[in-house]
């Protein structure tokens, strides 16, 4: 027998949805202002942005990274890699239930640029929980007068939003340094590509001065 129960009250569902959506709160404590002047990131990378950025203090990702944004992390992010050592992932989602999480793919210092491109693609797929993650167009890029490389990325997240991106990186003293800018395809990525290039052009690696 089927019991008759009054139509369910959907309010708790709404509350839960808001609770979950609220995870990426935009409170002022979550962000720090980055002025349009020379900035040092984690004492290893120095850049000079042309716009005012926000440092994301409560990024859902963690690792040897620093994350900036212009319009909020869901719309665009600039992720600096401040020296990923051999055997460590590029970045991971902040862990929830450690024991049940699969091993992330890791950086190895003998990887060539093509393999770094493959690694970022795998890292994207894992951390954005998607199968639609691609990279292409690997090419050389000068960084602080040294040899580096550059490639393009694209992904569709679980929110079905298509994001385009560009990564520039270099391996120095067995560590990976780089900057990956990505944003929602329409507007939030292409609008600021010039700013990204300007930041890359201004980049200095402080590790050289330190140890040479």
- The runs of H, that is alpha helices, within the chain are 11-21, 113-127, 193-202, 206-211
Contacts of 91 (CB under 8 A, 6+ apart): 61, 62, 63, 64, 65, 79, 81, 123, 127
Kindly indicate which of the ranges 10-18, 28-36, 44-52, 181-189 contains the residues binding other proteins, using the contact rule CB under 8 A.
10-18
Whether the Cβ atoms of residue 157 and residue 128 lie closer than 8 Å to each other: yes
Take residue 114 and report the two structure tokens written for it.
């093509």
Contacts of 144 (CB under 8 A, 6+ apart): 203, 204, 205, 208
125 binds other proteins (CB under 8 A): yes
At its nearest, how many Å lie between other proteins and the CB of residue 165?
A: 17
Kindly indicate which of the ranges 27-35, 125-133, 167-175, 178-186 contains the residues binding other proteins, using the contact rule CB under 8 A.
125-133
Kindly indicate which of the ranges 78-86, 98-106, 166-174, 192-200 contains the residues binding other proteins, using the contact rule CB under 8 A.
98-106
Binder of other proteins out of 49, 83, 113, 169 (CB under 8 A): 113
183 beta partners = 76, 164
Interface residues with other proteins (CB under 8 A) are 1-8, 10, 12-13, 15-17, 19-23, 60, 93-94, 96-97, 99-105, 108, 110, 112-115, 117-118, 121-122, 125-126, 129-133, 136-140, 149, 151, 156, 158-160
């Amino acid at each position: 027998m089927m019991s008759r129960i009054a139509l369910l009250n959907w309010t708790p569902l709404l509350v839960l949805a808001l609770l979950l959506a609220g995870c990426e709160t935009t409170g002022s404590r979550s962000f720090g202002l980055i002025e349009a002047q020379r900035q040092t990131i984690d004492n290893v990378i120095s850049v000079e942005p042309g716009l005012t950025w926000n440092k994301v203090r409560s990024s859902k990702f963690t690792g040897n990274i620093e994350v900036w944004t212009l319009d909020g992390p869901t719309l665009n992010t600039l992720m600096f890699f401040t020296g990923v050592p051999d055997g460590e992932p590029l970045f991971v989602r902040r862990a929830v239930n450690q024991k049940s999480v699969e091993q992330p793919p890791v950086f190895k210092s003998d990887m060539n640029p093509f393999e770094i491109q493959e690694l970022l693609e795998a890292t994207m797929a894992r951390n954005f929980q998607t199968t639609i993650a691609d990279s292409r167009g690997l090419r050389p890029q000068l960084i602080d007068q040294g040899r580096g490389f550059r490639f393009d990325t694209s992904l569709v997240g679980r929110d079905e939003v298509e994001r385009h991106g560009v990564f520039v990186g270099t391996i120095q003293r067995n560590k990976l340094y780089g900057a990956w800018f990505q944003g929602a395809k329409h507007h939030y990525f292409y609008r600021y590509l010039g700013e990204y290039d300007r930041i890359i052009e201004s980049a200095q690696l402080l590790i050289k001065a330190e140890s040479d």
